[in-house]
Structure 1
């Protein structure tokens, strides 16, 4: 099973750390496995560089994008499920204010559907898969090129 945590990075830090996403991965990884006074500092850093999710906004966005699909359902205000036909793939998304938790199995299509829908937030969303050490933006950041 593939597991992701999705964070909403503030615009300032998304642009500042563009190309150095390893720093985000390291910070989130340390927050997931540490237990100490340093853990409190890491949590404060994460709170400083991330925006909080409005669960109602996530629910509205996913409902608008996917509610017409028979394989999508909303379990409660925080929990969303995709079960593709013929056991092709399955994904579950749990929405929390701090981050979104996505678990998927089978075809990558089920998680891609969630990723594609979340892109419509027009936010700097950064996904982390600690088990496979994968990470990246749901939508690449567009860098402005200024000519002088």
Structure 2
């Protein structure tokens, strides 16, 4: 099973840290692994500073609209589900400051959710702590300055 945590990063922070995402990943992974309450509080404040709140009602609606015609899609009470054959499934849950995606099987299912999220917000950063993988759903376009 793969688990992804997605955070909506502030626009100016996303532009500043494009190409240096490992620093943001380090912040979030240190928070998830922190043992002391003091360390968790400090890291939590930093995370609050670099992230934007997620408009959950809007995203619930957009996900439903995008996937309502798919036979693999089902709306749960507090989550969105995609399921296939041979125990392949994927669930998406929206929270105030992050999105969680749990996927079992091929990478096809989480990609469907990633695509819907990418079309609705520009600065989602996805992280898989177990595999130490991370990346932007919608890479930021850098302005080139020629002299």
Q: Over the residues paired in the alignment, what is the CA RMSD in angstroms?
A: 1.2
The aligned length equals 146
CA distance in 2 between partners of 1:110 and 1:18 (Å): 26
How much does 1:88 deviate? 6.8
Q: Helix, strand or coil: the match of 2:6?
A: strand
- Give the gaps of 5 or more residues in structure 1: none
- Give the gaps of 5 or more residues in structure 2: none
Determine the structure 2 residue equivalent to 1:131: 130
Deviation per CA, 1:121-148: give whole Å up to 9, x if none.
1320001100010111112111111334
CA distance in 2 between partners of 1:39 and 1:47 (Å): 12
Please identify, of 124-133 and 86-95, the stretch whose mean Cα deviation from structure 2 is larger: 86-95
8 Å contact from structure 1 (residues 89, 108) kept in 2: no
With the length of structure 2 as denominator, give the TM-score of the two structures: 0.94
Deviation per CA, 1:51-72: give whole Å up to 9, x if none.
0111101101101110111111
CA distance in 1 between partners of 2:49 and 2:39 (Å): 15
Determine the structure 1 residue equivalent to 2:6: 6
8 Å contact from structure 1 (residues 10, 50) kept in 2: yes
With the length of structure 1 as denominator, give the TM-score of the two structures: 0.94
1:118 is the counterpart of 2:117: yes
